[in-house]
Structure 1
Amino acid sequence: MSAAREHVIADLRERISLLEGGSARKVGCLPFGVPEIDAVLPEGGLAYGALHEFAGGGSGAIDGAAAALFAAGIAARTKGHVVWCLTRPDLFFPALVQAGLHHNRVVFVEADKEEDVLASMEEALSYGGLGAVVGELVRLPMVASRRLQLAAEKTGTMGIVVRRWRRQTEASDFGQPTASTTRWRVSVMPSDELPVPGVGRARWFLELMRSRAGECAEFVVGACDDKGRVDLPSGSADRSNTSGRSVYSR
């Protein structure tokens, strides 16, 4: 078989794979670009083809919004469209744009029940060719998390679950075991001080509560910029001040 013919056949196979939703599997990871954070993650970043969980440090809307912004910043740094599955259409999209996730990349999937969110996430993860699939959930049962993890592994798409609480008692479910590769908790801290009166860059307290084959860790970071990147600011601040802007509309 001539080299030209082999090239044509390979090109046709690739096009067919794309049409079937089976685009080339992503491998490796998405680094944060912050050496201190990447060093504690087994692959040097958040693994593609895996499920990752994010939740607010408390049951309030402010910490929950910070978790959603952190997830949005991660999704913004992936390549391709992002599918965001939810039951409550209350996202404040300008806040997501500030975290680097622009409207022309996001496909929203609204569902009536969390079971439908899980089904939509699994379908999107199985499709392939996406940058990330995000789902907002109160609970994440072990069986459901395993299905999402397997679907992510199949295509190499990153799965992101943002845990949202409606009441204080639901927050305890975050401690239950799941199949997620990493689990993060995000709490709002006082913003960076400026040399003049005003509000500086928001800061978060990140807790890496679970990392498969890795270690737990804590970081004080500058919130996602318009490219979805976090950084390590100099110094620290008193966590007692937890004022911030919500990513969810009231």
Structure 2
Amino acid sequence: MSGGPSLAFGIDRIDDRLADHGLDGHALHEVAAASPALSDDAAATLFLAGLAARFAAAAGTVLWAVTRFDLYAPGLDQAGLSPDHLLFSEAREDNEVLALAEDGLRSGTLGAVVAEVGRISMTATRRLQLAAAEGRTPMLLFRRWRRRALCPLSEPSSATTRWRIRSVASQPLGHAGIGRPRWEVELVRQRNGNPFSLTLEACDDTGRLALPAPARHRAAGADRAAARAA
């Protein structure tokens, strides 16, 4: 089955390492926090919000299905996902969340579907992958921690990509204040490609990640040096 259009991150260090040079818009992608810590959980949530916002920028509504309503709407808005484009759905258990997600995907009317689950079988991930392809809609699955010693991504899955997000210290500012948050973004697995890890600045209000400023400056300097040498 052929993939859909790819959503590029706009960062060469990511896009050049992705098999599709972006995220397949008709496929299942999984995200987990690097630990059960609240800081990592929040980073993974905002990473998902940024992706959903960018997938839905032209297509409209995002369905976000949960079993516990602990989302902070202003935080999602700061990552580019406006409440005006969000449809929340709260279910009693994971199986109901997955059913809601599958129905949303197959409708073909949504910009993206996000679902949060603690437990999911390999068969269920195959169903989501097929539903995403048939509905031509990206499926973003948040794998929540159930046991402290077992990363959710240690379980098998049919996802096209699997991401692990960790909160790291922000860049100190030259004056009093708080710098832009930073995350360690790890691609644990991708179909037809290799894993990698990068430290990036958190999503801005359009859902976009960025290289830390020092890295951008080094890259620009290297480009100028190469141009002079040529």
Question: Does the pair score TM above 0.5?
Answer: yes
Aligned to 1:8: none
Secondary structure of 1:219's counterpart equals: strand
**Alignment gaps of 5+ in structure 2:** 216-230
Are residue 231 (structure 1) and residue 210 (structure 2) matched?
yes
Q: In structure 2, what residue type is equivalent to 1:145? A: T
Matches within 5 A, 1:84-233: 84-169=64-149, 171-233=150-212
Q: In structure 2, what residue type is equivalent to 1:41? A: L
Q: In structure 1, what residue type is equivalent to 2:87? A: V
Are residue 42 (structure 1) and residue 14 (structure 2) matched?
no
Runs of 4+ residues deviating >4 angstroms: none
Find the aligned partners of 1:172 and 1:133 in 2 and give their Cα distance. Answer: 23
Find the aligned partners of 1:209 and 1:44 in 2 and give their Cα distance. Answer: 16
Aligned to 2:36: 59
Secondary structure of 2:119's counterpart equals: coil
Find the aligned partners of 1:41 and 1:210 in 2 and give their Cα distance. Answer: 10
Q: In structure 2, what residue type is equivalent to 1:123? A: D
Q: Is the contact made by 1:139 and 1:174 (CA closer than 8 Å) also made in structure 2?
A: no
Size of the aligned set, in residue pairs, is: 211
Q: Which moved more, 1:160-169 or 1:111-120?
A: 160-169
- By how many angstroms is 1:50 displaced? 0.3
Find the aligned partners of 2:15 and 2:152 in 1 and give their Cα distance. Answer: 27
Aligned to 2:226: none
TM-score of the superposed pair, with normalisation by structure 2: 0.88
**Alignment gaps of 5+ in structure 1:** 1-25, 237-250
TM-score of the superposed pair, with normalisation by structure 1: 0.81
| Structure index of larger Rg | 1
Secondary structure of 1:168's counterpart equals: coil
Spell out, residue by residue over 1:132-166, the C-alpha distance to the aligned partner (whole angstroms, 9 max, x if none).
10000112210000000000000210000111225
Q: Is the contact made by 2:28 and 2:138 (CA closer than 8 Å) also made in structure 1?
A: yes
Find the aligned partners of 2:108 and 2:91 in 1 and give their Cα distance. Answer: 21
Aligned to 1:242: none
Spell out, residue by residue over 1:198-240, the C-alpha distance to the aligned partner (whole angstroms, 9 max, x if none).
110000001100010011010000000000000111458xxxx
Aligned to 1:21: none
Spell out, residue by residue over 1:74-126, the C-alpha distance to the aligned partner (whole angstroms, 9 max, x if none).
00112321000000011111110010000010000110011100100000010
